[in-house]
Amino acid sequence: KIDPMTMVLCTAPLMLAFLLPANFLVWDVQIIQRLYVYRSYIACNVMLAFLLQVTSAVTIRCLSATGMSLASVTKDLGIILAASRILGEQLSGLQVVGFTGSVMFIGLFSVMRIFPETFENSTTLAKAGP
Protein backbone atom coordinates (compact mmCIF):
# COMPACT_ATOMS: atom_id res chain seq x y z
CA LYS A 1 0.00 0.00 0.00
CA ILE A 2 1.10 3.52 -0.74
CA ASP A 3 0.86 6.19 1.92
CA PRO A 4 -1.24 9.32 1.20
CA MET A 5 1.63 11.80 1.02
CA THR A 6 3.55 9.67 -1.49
CA MET A 7 0.42 9.42 -3.61
CA VAL A 8 0.00 13.21 -3.60
CA LEU A 9 3.68 13.72 -4.42
CA CYS A 10 3.43 11.26 -7.32
CA THR A 11 0.26 12.73 -8.83
CA ALA A 12 1.22 16.41 -8.53
CA PRO A 13 3.94 16.38 -11.25
CA LEU A 14 1.63 14.48 -13.59
CA MET A 15 -1.07 17.12 -13.16
CA LEU A 16 1.49 19.85 -13.78
CA ALA A 17 2.55 18.12 -17.00
CA PHE A 18 -1.05 18.15 -18.25
CA LEU A 19 -1.89 21.70 -17.13
CA LEU A 20 1.30 23.50 -18.18
CA PRO A 21 0.70 23.26 -21.96
CA ALA A 22 -2.85 24.58 -21.49
CA ASN A 23 -1.40 27.50 -19.55
CA PHE A 24 0.78 28.49 -22.50
CA LEU A 25 -2.24 28.49 -24.82
CA VAL A 26 -4.13 31.08 -22.76
CA TRP A 27 -1.18 33.09 -21.43
CA ASP A 28 -1.62 36.83 -20.92
CA VAL A 29 0.99 39.35 -19.76
CA GLN A 30 -1.34 40.63 -17.01
CA ILE A 31 -1.23 37.24 -15.27
CA ILE A 32 2.02 38.10 -13.47
CA GLN A 33 0.62 41.46 -12.31
CA ARG A 34 -2.59 39.84 -11.07
CA LEU A 35 -0.58 37.10 -9.39
CA TYR A 36 1.15 39.76 -7.32
CA VAL A 37 -2.13 41.54 -6.49
CA TYR A 38 -3.97 38.36 -5.46
CA ARG A 39 -1.00 36.49 -3.97
CA SER A 40 -2.63 35.95 -0.56
CA TYR A 41 -5.76 34.46 -2.13
CA ILE A 42 -3.68 32.26 -4.41
CA ALA A 43 -1.54 31.05 -1.49
CA CYS A 44 -4.69 30.09 0.45
CA ASN A 45 -6.08 28.37 -2.65
CA VAL A 46 -2.86 26.37 -3.11
CA MET A 47 -2.94 25.24 0.53
CA LEU A 48 -6.60 24.24 0.28
CA ALA A 49 -5.96 22.31 -2.93
CA PHE A 50 -3.07 20.47 -1.28
CA LEU A 51 -5.22 19.64 1.75
CA LEU A 52 -7.96 18.40 -0.56
CA GLN A 53 -5.50 16.06 -2.29
CA VAL A 54 -4.24 14.73 1.03
CA THR A 55 -7.80 14.29 2.30
CA SER A 56 -8.75 12.39 -0.85
CA ALA A 57 -5.72 10.13 -0.55
CA VAL A 58 -6.40 9.40 3.13
CA THR A 59 -10.08 8.73 2.38
CA ILE A 60 -9.21 6.27 -0.39
CA ARG A 61 -6.71 4.56 1.92
CA CYS A 62 -9.22 4.25 4.77
CA LEU A 63 -12.44 3.58 2.88
CA SER A 64 -11.45 2.08 -0.48
CA ALA A 65 -12.03 3.52 -3.91
CA THR A 66 -15.70 2.54 -3.78
CA GLY A 67 -16.23 4.41 -0.52
CA MET A 68 -14.49 7.43 -2.01
CA SER A 69 -16.78 7.25 -5.05
CA LEU A 70 -19.85 7.10 -2.85
CA ALA A 71 -18.61 10.01 -0.72
CA SER A 72 -17.84 12.03 -3.86
CA VAL A 73 -21.24 11.42 -5.44
CA THR A 74 -22.98 12.21 -2.15
CA LYS A 75 -20.97 15.44 -1.87
CA ASP A 76 -21.99 16.38 -5.42
CA LEU A 77 -25.61 15.61 -4.56
CA GLY A 78 -25.42 17.88 -1.53
CA ILE A 79 -23.92 20.72 -3.58
CA ILE A 80 -26.55 20.38 -6.30
CA LEU A 81 -29.45 20.16 -3.85
CA ALA A 82 -28.17 23.17 -1.88
CA ALA A 83 -27.70 25.16 -5.09
CA SER A 84 -31.16 24.27 -6.33
CA ARG A 85 -32.73 25.34 -3.02
CA ILE A 86 -30.68 28.50 -2.49
CA LEU A 87 -30.62 29.71 -6.10
CA GLY A 88 -34.03 28.34 -7.03
CA GLU A 89 -32.70 26.29 -9.94
CA GLN A 90 -34.90 23.49 -11.24
CA LEU A 91 -33.45 19.98 -11.56
CA SER A 92 -34.43 17.95 -14.58
CA GLY A 93 -35.84 14.47 -14.17
CA LEU A 94 -32.78 13.03 -15.89
CA GLN A 95 -30.47 14.68 -13.34
CA VAL A 96 -32.49 13.32 -10.42
CA VAL A 97 -32.61 9.81 -11.91
CA GLY A 98 -28.88 9.90 -12.74
CA PHE A 99 -27.73 10.93 -9.28
CA THR A 100 -30.18 8.61 -7.53
CA GLY A 101 -29.02 5.69 -9.68
CA SER A 102 -25.38 6.52 -9.05
CA VAL A 103 -25.78 6.54 -5.28
CA MET A 104 -27.97 3.42 -5.23
CA PHE A 105 -25.73 1.29 -7.45
CA ILE A 106 -22.48 2.37 -5.79
CA GLY A 107 -24.12 1.49 -2.48
CA LEU A 108 -25.30 -1.86 -3.88
CA PHE A 109 -21.80 -2.61 -5.14
CA SER A 110 -20.36 -1.79 -1.71
CA VAL A 111 -22.84 -4.09 0.01
CA MET A 112 -22.05 -6.86 -2.50
CA ARG A 113 -18.36 -6.54 -1.69
CA ILE A 114 -18.95 -6.54 2.08
CA PHE A 115 -21.44 -9.45 2.11
CA PRO A 116 -20.62 -11.55 -0.98
CA GLU A 117 -22.12 -14.73 0.51
CA THR A 118 -25.57 -13.12 0.64
CA PHE A 119 -25.54 -12.35 -3.05
CA GLU A 120 -23.97 -15.67 -4.02
CA ASN A 121 -26.83 -17.51 -2.33
CA SER A 122 -29.46 -15.44 -4.13
CA THR A 123 -27.86 -16.11 -7.53
CA THR A 124 -27.67 -19.82 -6.71
CA LEU A 125 -31.37 -19.84 -5.86
CA ALA A 126 -32.18 -17.93 -9.04
CA LYS A 127 -30.28 -20.49 -11.15
CA ALA A 128 -31.99 -23.40 -9.46
CA GLY A 129 -35.38 -21.84 -10.19
CA PRO A 130 -38.77 -23.55 -9.98
**pTM greater than 0.85:** no
- Interatomic CA distance for residues 49 and 51, integer angstroms: 5
- Interatomic CA distance for residues 60 and 7, integer angstroms: 11
* pLDDT greater than 70 at residue 102: yes
Rg of the Cα atoms in the chain: 22
Name the burial class of residue 86, with classes exposed (0-12), middle (13-18) and buried (19+) by CB atoms within 10 angstroms of its CB.
exposed
* pLDDT greater than 80 at residue 108: yes
* pLDDT greater than 60 at residue 125: no
pLDDT of 4-63, one tens digit each?
A: 678 777 888 888 899 899 888 888 889 899 999 999 999 999 999 888 878 877 777 777
CB-based contact 69:109 (threshold 8 Å): no
Determine what percent of the chain is predicted with pLDDT higher than 70: 88
